[in-house]
Amino acid sequence: RTANSLVGQRYLVTAGPTYESLDPVRFIGNHSSGKMGIAIANEVAKRGGKVELVLGPSSIEVKHPNITVHHVNSAVDMYEAATSLYDDCQVGIMAAAVSDYRPKDVSDQKIKKADDSITLELTKNPDIAESLGAKKRSDQKLIGFAMETENLLKNAKKKLTKKNFDLIVLNSLKTEGAGFKHDTNVVTFIGQNKTREFELKQKTEIAKDLVDEIISL
Ligand code: C5P
């Protein structure tokens, strides 16, 4: 067993978007592809770790014998899967782009076109990362992601504390080639007392840096 090996370790990874149903044919979603989280799952698996991957709707195929994929649609489904799996994991990595709100009522039938304007009432979704953070044991680690458009460092640090993360990965939205759908990203790792900035690189390379960082925590 080398220093890099994750044999005997179990990681929980959330990835992809969530779809919040409005009626049988429509949903509220977001542009997450699931690429970053899947790259992390593959990296953990390559090093011999087991992965419970809770994956929202994503077109990317995942197939590694060490990865068990739990397919979910909504934030509530993702919450239920992730909270039941975390107890048996040493590390949780929250890479999913979870919808903060869902439609308050889901229509059984397709919503008909009628009035010039209609109003949707939304209700708050559970915060998966925050609830895992609240029940995290001393032998567990929890890693979060943040995508901020203003006061990047300050907001990311606030989130680190509020959600009881050991590390937060700050995504840049401003840089060309970074973020949603791309194969590349620009990230900063923010820990309790140190910050590391990285250049634009492949998400598969970021996954290696992240797993190395988690091992060093
Ligand atoms: O507060 P914000 O949504 O920016 O936090 C982002 C982090 O929290 C990400 O790691 C994301 O996966 C996680 N999160 C979650 N459940 C939510 C909202 C965000 O796990 N409902």
Q: What is the mean pLDDT of each run of 10 residues along the chain (217 residues)?
A: 84 98 97 95 98 98 97 98 98 98 97 94 98 98 91 91 97 72 90 93 96 96
How far CA 54 is from CA of 12, 68, 81, 94, 139, in Å, comes to 8, 8, 7, 10, 21
pLDDT for 2: 60
Question: What pLDDT score does 174 carry?
Answer: 67
Residue 205 dihedral angles phi and psi, to the nearest 5°: -75, -40
State the distance from the centre of ligand 1 to the C-alpha of 56, rounded, in angstroms: 14
Quote the CA–CA distance of 122 and 213 in Å, as a whole number.
38
Q: Please give the helix or strand (H or E) that residue 209 lies within, else none.
A: helix 203-216
Predicted confidence at residue 148, as pLDDT, reads 81
Residue 67: inside a domain: yes
Is residue 57 situated within a structural domain? yes
- Answer whether residue 113 is part of any domain: no
Question: 107 CA to middle of ligand 1, Å?
Answer: 27
Among candidates 167, 187, 195, 194, which has minimal Cα distance to 91?
Answer: 167
| 39 occurs within a structural domain | yes
pLDDT digits (tens, 9 = 90+) for 7-39: 999 999 999 999 999 999 999 999 999 999 999
Q: What range does the domain containing 205 cover?
A: 10-99+122-216
With the most atoms of ligand 1 within 8 angstroms of its CB, the residue from 38, 98, 147, 187 to mutate is 98
State the distance from the centre of ligand 1 to the C-alpha of 105, rounded, in angstroms: 23
pTM: 0.95
> Which residues lie with the beta carbon below 6 Å from any ligand 1 atom?
14, 75, 94, 96, 98, 100, 125, 127-129, 144-146, 159
Sign of CA dihedral 57, 141, 183, 154: positive
Q: Which one, of 208, 217, 194, 214, lies nearest residue 36 by Cα?
A: 208
CA-closest candidate to residue 161, choices 129, 139, 116, 183: 129
CA distance 23 to 35: 28
Phi, psi at 171, each rounded to 5°: -90, 140
Please give the tally of structural domains in the chain: 1
CATH code where residue 52 lies: 3.40.50.10300
pLDDT at 1: 47
Q: What is the pLDDT of residues 129-142, one digit of tens each?
A: 999 999 999 999 99
Give 197's strand partners: 188
**From CA 57, how far away is CA 44, in angstroms rounded?**
21
